[in-house]
Amino acid sequence: RKEVEQDPGPFNVPEGATVAFNCTYSNSASQSFFWYRQDCRKEPKLLMSVYSSGNEDGRFTAQLNRASQYISLLIRDSKLSDSATYLCVVTVATDSWGKFQFGAGTQVVVTP
């Protein structure tokens, strides 16, 4: 079983619509959580960190549910430029924060 799992999609979303997807993690000791964005096998770029109380950055909202061990990303008012693969990233173990585990990514396709 993978440590970090994501629905690969694709999620086909009309422009202007809302899309949401989750990422589950298996290690209950996971400490930090992030969403990265990756365009077409280019380098990943940080979209946002995920905080315990949930956080918002413009049209993007991230939530963390420690009890059920998942994080979510919601994109409102989708733009064509939001088409990308979204990677869920988790750090594990308090004594080795340098280890990161990535999900395989969720592909989002925003259509006109």
Partner 1 sequence: EAQVTQNPRYLITVTGKKLTVTCSQNMNHEYMSWYRQDPGLGLRQIYYSMNVEVTDKGDVPEGYKVSRKEKRNFPLILESPSPNQTSLYFCASSATGRKKTQYFGPGTRLLVL
Catalog residues that contact partner 1 under the rule CB under 8 A: 4, 8, 31-32, 41-46, 49, 87, 91, 96-105
**Which one, 17 or 46, has the nearer CB to partner 1?**
46
Determine the 3-state secondary structure of 44 from DSSP.
Answer: coil
End-to-end CA distance of the chain: 37
Nearer to partner 1, 49 or 65 (CB): 49
Q: Which two tokens stand for residue 96?
A: 């080795």
**Is 13 or 37 the residue whose CB approaches partner 1 more closely?**
37
Strand order through the sheet with 19-25: 4-6, 19-25, 70-75, 60-65, 55-57
CB of 93 to partner 1, least distance (A): 10
In the complex, minimum distance from the CB of residue 47 to partner 1, in angstroms, rounded to a whole number:
10
Closest to partner 1 by CB, 22 vs 101, is 101
State in angstroms the smallest separation of the CB of 72 from partner 1.
18
How near is the Cβ of 4 to partner 1 at its closest, in Å?
8
Q: How many other CB atoms are there within 10 angstroms of residue 10's CB atom?
A: 12
CB 36 within 8 A of CB 98: no
